[in-house]
């Protein structure tokens, strides 16, 4: 069987499973699951006839969501499963459901077997991201350690339950490699395709539907794989659907009218391209509007507090943490605005010891002001951050103009270039503060001179 036939066969099996008694999903007859591999989009959902605004595209019973609660593994393992971190528990569930006899197998079969996310990049490929903060967020080694410490003992103890899953070859020879590979695949699937679903009965005081963009509050939401919902591709500008939740079903509805032939898109929200790459393994130009350049608090404190002794610096760090002014890092977006918290941090580190003690005694912090002193420190911070990248904006633009650049390298260059442009733009904006302040002082001085002259003349 060639790849096209296999792709079509898996699609057909999945669609039959969706609408069959096992899953019982209701599909709008005016949509179709389509092969979009020619445009590098895998599977997608297309309107085969015009759809109205707020029309239901499909409806999924909550019992058909692939989750820890709905898997028979919960009954088999009990607290061994539910005591795990929710992410680890769902990874184990997905591995368990790769059994040929699993009721979820037709769904598992259409989920990706490989990914282009940063977790799967080589060190050389990752180095092309240079100083992008996204590299530190990959966490492959930490994930490996969790899989070894938390999942491996369980699957070894209950090897019979996993004897016909994708990790069976490793279990047979007591080798962990199969588990690590499978866990990374399932973890990537969860990160790319799962939804935060509201626990039924937790929401009080409202009979209205809640949409899937509500903030995840611990204990009130859980991760779940929603069949068919994850077949929609995402687009920041063309999104025309949204997942809504009711106590019994999850409904994908149109947010505007969709002409026949148009693809249906969900939306990931305002993700910068660095996070889009980390979570989903690709970038598109229309997500550039959400790009950010991250500046660590370590860099900010190191420059703003370089004149302070160790104990004084530590005291201010602890106080600003307690006051929730200082964070691990801060983002500058495409609007090039410096976060007020950053300005406040700098201002507090520029205070004399006496000034800081007075404010601390009152339970206050220095206000975020664009003074020349703050601007000078901010300029130094941005220059240092921009210098952490191995190439300049001009270097990157020249590379992109070349014909030989392709694949993961070009993606990395696009990401790092977007961050550098933000840093450069913010730097120019901060330098403008000094010019504005200088102009204000000159104007103020001129006014005072004129007033003085007038006072002299009236005598």
pLDDT at 192: 92
pLDDT at 5: 80
Q: How far apart are CA 191 and CA 82, in angstroms?
A: 19
Q: Alpha helix locations (H) across 194-334?
A: 273-280, 297-304, 310-322
The answer to whether 97 touches 104, Cβ cutoff 8 Å, is yes
CA gyration radius, the chain: 28
The answer to whether 233 touches 23, Cβ cutoff 8 Å, is no
The C-alpha angle 188, 194, 199, rounded to 5 degrees, equals 140
- 24 backbone φψ class: left, alpha, beta (φ>0; ψ -120 to 50): left
The answer to whether 319 touches 349, Cβ cutoff 8 Å, is no
pLDDT at 174: 85
Q: How far apart are CA 243 and CA 209, in angstroms?
A: 10
Q: How far apart are CA 421 and CA 431, in angstroms?
A: 15
The three-state secondary structure class of 293 is strand
Q: How far apart are CA 367 and CA 41, in angstroms?
A: 48
Instruction: Extract long-range pairs of 452-457: CB within 8 Å, 24+ residues apart.
Output: none
Q: How far apart are CA 63 and CA 71, in angstroms?
A: 10
Q: How far apart are CA 177 and CA 182, in angstroms?
A: 9
The answer to whether 338 touches 293, Cβ cutoff 8 Å, is no
The three-state secondary structure class of 56 is strand
The answer to whether 430 touches 378, Cβ cutoff 8 Å, is yes
pLDDT at 267: 83
Name the pTM for this structure.
0.86
* DSSP 8-class letter at 147: I
Q: How far apart are CA 268 and CA 192, in angstroms?
A: 10
Q: Using alpha carbons, list the distances in angstroms from residue 433 to 26, 131, 385, 426, 427.
A: 58, 27, 19, 11, 10
Return the axis-axis angle of helices 372-387 and 407-457, rounded to nearest 10°: 160
Say how many residues make up the chain: 459
Q: Measured on CA atoms in the order 164, 170, 173, 176, is the torsion positive or negative?
A: negative
Q: What is the mean pLDDT of each run of 10 residues along the chain (459 residues)?
A: 79 93 94 83 91 98 96 96 96 98 95 93 97 96 97 96 94 90 96 92 46 52 94 91 95 97 91 96 93 98 95 96 97 98 97 96 95 97 98 96 84 98 98 68 48 44
34: part of which helix (H) or strand (E)?
Answer: strand 31-35
* DSSP 8-class letter at 214: S
pLDDT at 236: 84
Q: Are strands 210-211 and 43-47 parallel, antiparallel or unpaired?
A: unpaired
β-sheet bridge partners, residue 287: none
The answer to whether 47 touches 259, Cβ cutoff 8 Å, is yes
Q: How far apart are CA 215 and CA 309, in angstroms?
A: 41
pLDDT at 213: 46
Burial-class residue 393 by CB neighbours within 10 Å (0-12, 13-18, 19+).
middle
Domains in the chain, ordered, with CATH? 3-276 (3.90.1410.10), 291-445 (3.90.1420.10)
The answer to whether 350 touches 394, Cβ cutoff 8 Å, is no
Q: How far apart are CA 214 and CA 287, in angstroms?
A: 21
pLDDT at 172: 84
The answer to whether 72 touches 209, Cβ cutoff 8 Å, is no
pLDDT at 431: 95
Q: How far apart are CA 386 and CA 364, in angstroms?
A: 32
């Amino acid at each position: 069987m060639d790849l096209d036939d296999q792709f079509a066969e898996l699609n057909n099996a999945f669609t039959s499973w969706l609408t069959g008694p096992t899953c019982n999903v209701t599909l709008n007859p005016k949509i179709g699951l389509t092969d979009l591999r020619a445009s590098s989009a895998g599977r997608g959902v297309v309107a085969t006839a015009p759809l109205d605004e707020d029309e239901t595209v499909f409806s999924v019973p909550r019992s058909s969501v692939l989750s820890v609660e709905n898997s028979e593994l919960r009954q088999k393992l009990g607290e061994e499963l539910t005591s795990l971190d929710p992410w680890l528990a769902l990874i184990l569930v997905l591995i368990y459901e790769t059994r040929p006899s699993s009721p979820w197998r037709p769904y598992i079969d259409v989920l990706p077997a490989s990914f282009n996310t940063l977790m799967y990049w080589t060190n050389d490929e990752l180095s092309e991201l240079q100083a992008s903060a996204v590299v530190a967020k990959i966490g492959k080694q930490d994930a490996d350690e969790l899989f070894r410490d938390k999942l491996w003992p369980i699957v070894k103890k209950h090897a019979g339950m996993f004897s016909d899953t994708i990790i069976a070859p490793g279990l047979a020879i007591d080798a962990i490699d199969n588990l690590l590979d499978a866990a990374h695949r399932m973890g990537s699937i969860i990160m790319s395709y799962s939804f935060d679903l509201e626990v039924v009965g937790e929401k009080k005081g409202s009979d209205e539907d809640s949409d899937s963009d509500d903030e995840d509050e611990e204990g009130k939401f859980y991760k779940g794989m929603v069949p068919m919902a994850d077949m929609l591709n995402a687009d920041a500008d063309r999104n025309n659907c949204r997942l809504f939740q009711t106590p019994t079903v999850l409904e994908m509805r149109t947010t505007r009218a969709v002409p026949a032939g148009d693809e249906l898109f969900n939306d990931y929200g305002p993700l910068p391209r660095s996070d889009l790459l980390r979570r989903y393994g690709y970038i598109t130009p229309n997500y550039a509007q959400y790009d950010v350049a991250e500046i660590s608090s370590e860099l900010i404190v190191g420059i703003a507090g370089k004149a302070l002794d160790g104990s004084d610096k530590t005291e201010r760090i602890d106080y600003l943490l307690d006051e929730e002014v200082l964070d691990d890092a801060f983002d500058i977006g495409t609007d090039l605005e410096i976060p007020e918290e950053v300005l406040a941090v700098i201002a507090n580190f520029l205070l004399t010891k006496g000034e800081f003690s007075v404010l601390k005694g009152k339970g206050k912090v220095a206000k975020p002001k664009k003074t020349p002193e703050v601007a000078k420190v901010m300029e130094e911070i941005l220059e240092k951050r921009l210098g952490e990248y191995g190439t300049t904006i001009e270097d990157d633009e020249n590379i992109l103009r070349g014909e030989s650049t392709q694949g993961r390298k070009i993606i990395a260059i696009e990401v790092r270039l977007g961050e550098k442009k933000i840093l450069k733009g913010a730097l120019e904006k901060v330098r403008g503060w000094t010019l504005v302040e200088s102009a204000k002082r000159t104007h103020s001085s001129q006014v005072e001179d004129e007033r003085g002259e007038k006072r002299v003349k009236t005598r």
